[in-house]
Amino acid sequence: MLRLVNSPPKLETLLFSTHVSAGFPSPADDHIEGKLDLNEHLVRRPAATFFVRASGESMRDAGIFNGDLLIIDRSVTPQLGDIVLAILDGELTVKRLKKADGVWHLAAENKNYPSIPIGEGDCAFWGVVTYTIHQHCGR
């Protein structure tokens, strides 16, 4: 199962109470609220959020590189300008949703790749790409 918060940090008791009278009262007591959880930041609706791995160069100019991790939120309804995961001819692919001369396009972000007008062939939306996670240091 996908558990977005794997296990709460049990070893570090961060949410302690200030009622403990023994010892020296820390001035930080009132301010410790818990650790920052990236899931909270990146995954707004866990039931609708999926992860996929990008492969290829066609979205390079949008900052999506080969091997990047993409976060997809299906609960977001696609709008003009969104980067979307779409089904093209039975395959999942990533494109930007654009409009040119009144026609919607699934556009690549790399001049070496074509834009595909929507309506030609089999096309459907899968979800909206909300974040890209790119690794800068491989060690």
Partner 1 sequence: MAIFALVDCNNFYASCERLFQPHLRGRPVVILSNNDGCVIARSDEAKSLGILMGTPAFKIRQLIKAHDIAVCSSNYALYGDISERVMRVLGESAPNQEIYSIDECFLDLDRLSVPNLTQWCRNLRHQTMQWTGIPVSIGIGPTKTLAKLANRLAKKSVRESGVLNFMDDPIRIDTALRETSIGDVWGIGRRWTQKLEERGIHTAHDFANAPDAWVRQCMGVVGLRTVHELRGIACHALADQPAPKQTTCYTRTFGTAIYDKMQIQDAVTCFTEQAAAKLRKTGQVAGAVQLFIQTDPFARNVPKKSVSGLTTLDRPTSNTRAIATAVTQIFDRIWQDGYGWRKAGVHLFDLSAPDQIAPSLLDVIETPNDSLMKAVDHINTRYGRGAARMGFASKNAAWQMQQAHVSPRFTTKWAEIPAVRMM
Residue 84 binds partner 1, judged by CB under 8 A = no
Residue 115 binds partner 1, judged by CB under 8 A = no
Look up 55 and say whether it is catalytic.
Answer: no
Give the Cα separation of 104 and 83 in Å (integer). 13
| Minimal distance, residue 32 CB to partner 1, in Å | 28
Footprint on residues 34-73 left by partner 1 (CB under 8 A): 45-48, 50-59, 64, 69-70
Question: Of 54 and 97, which CB lies nearer to partner 1 in the complex structure?
Answer: 54
Look up 98 and say whether it is catalytic.
Answer: no
Rounded alpha-carbon distances, angstroms, from residue 56 to 37, 68, 97, 119: 30, 10, 18, 24
135: which residues sit within 8 A by CB, 6+ positions away?
Answer: 67, 68
Q: Which residues are catalytic?
A: 58, 95
